[in-house]
Copies of this chain bind each other. A is one copy, B any other.
């Protein structure tokens, strides 16, 4: 065998800091940054060394993008839709209500021109992006009382952020922005009626099932939310070509393995939740229909006043429809048949 370390003996040592938007306790989503960093160190004999910091260690979780834009850190791992307050066009990189599923997002970004389109937009923030994970279709939240009709949504105080919150508001609900650690007591006291988080594996940890038994699906505001790496453009340009290549390969890996890890863990967690008395509930059709309609209105309104949003939405929406026409054939018929044979 050849002596190791064999690569990179004369390669430069590059030390970067990555700020994650996630706490270490959300091990799967947080772990995507470790997948990237560990692989890069291993490929380069430790020379390309990205140190991963949890949300809050360098900057608060929701300021990860800002930290990269300003050059405080070289890279972050976050969700683009945390930044819809800057521009609603930040929604597309992670998910918009009734948007694309995980596989469709990969197709759009890697082959459908999505990557180029988003990076043009992100250039305004001095960053470039790389897909870096997915949770799959999220669950639709924990409700103290059943939602049997659209009328039951009216006046509902729900912990939900971003564009999903805008759509819920259009249906008469009152969206609340509450940080992860504060959701449980609010739900327990009844300060809020409902809260959405991620899916069975992450939700179980926060214990919502103890105070709100109705577990709704699907999380229609995030059919295939993608997690994102954003790299400061100047720092990227300074990287040796080989390190840029290695970074890209490791980001592909983080993307595919996060989805696989969630798919592995969620069924196990869901089964435990059901055993502890959780009631699995479908959103009524009329709620989904009204939400879909409200979402389309939101997109039309935003497109009318925001050219960046309009440009991306036009492409995204066309692509989504083409994808769904195809996924409704072999994939859907196969999955539906297999799911009916337990």
Q: Which of B110, B259, B335 is close to A327, meaning CB atoms less than 8 Å apart?
A: B335
Q: How far is the CB of A257 from chain B (nearest CB, A)?
A: 6
Report how far A98 CA is from B337 CA in the complex, Å: 9
| With A6-B240, A257-B252, A263-B104 as contacts: A330 and B218 at CB distance below 8 Å | yes
A260 touches B103 (CB 8 A): yes
| Binary B-proximity of A205-241 (CB < 8 A = 1, otherwise 0) | 0000000000001111001000000000000011111
Does chain B have a CB within 8 A of A179?
A: no
Using a CB–CB cutoff of 8 Å, the interface residues on chain A facing chain B are 1-12, 39, 42-45, 47, 98, 101-104, 106-112, 136-140, 199-200, 217-220, 223, 237-243, 245-246, 248-250, 252-253, 255-257, 259-261, 263-268, 270-271, 280, 282-283, 288, 292, 320-339, 341-342
B220 touches A323 (CB 8 A): no
Residues of B within 8 A of A45 (CB): 242
Q: How far is the CB of A165 from chain B (nearest CB, A)?
A: 19
B218 touches A331 (CB 8 A): yes
Residues of B within 8 A of A43 (CB): 43, 242, 245-246, 249
Q: How far is the CB of A96 from chain B (nearest CB, A)?
A: 12
B8 touches A2 (CB 8 A): no
7 further A-B pairs in the complex, CB-CB below 8 A; given A267-B325, A268-B322: A2-B240, A8-B8, A43-B246, A110-B257, A140-B330, A217-B334, A327-B339
B326 touches A263 (CB 8 A): yes
For A108, A326, A339, the residue with the greatest tally of chain B CB atoms inside 10 Å of its CB is A326
Report how far A47 CA is from B7 CA in the complex, Å: 9
Residues of B within 8 A of A255 (CB): 256
Residues of B within 8 A of A320 (CB): 338
B106 touches A263 (CB 8 A): yes
Residues of B within 8 A of A263 (CB): 103-104, 106-107, 111, 323, 326
**Which B residue sits closest to A112, measured CB to CB?**
B264
**Which B residue sits closest to A222, measured CB to CB?**
B334
Q: Which of B218, B246, B292, B333 is close to A217, meaning CB atoms less than 8 Å apart?
A: B333
Report how far A104 CA is from B5 CA in the complex, Å: 35
**Which B residue sits closest to A6, measured CB to CB?**
B240
For A10, A12, A39, A264, the residue with the greatest tally of chain B CB atoms inside 10 Å of its CB is A264
A260 touches B7 (CB 8 A): no
Q: Which of B238, B283, B321, B332 is close to A342, meaning CB atoms less than 8 Å apart?
A: B321
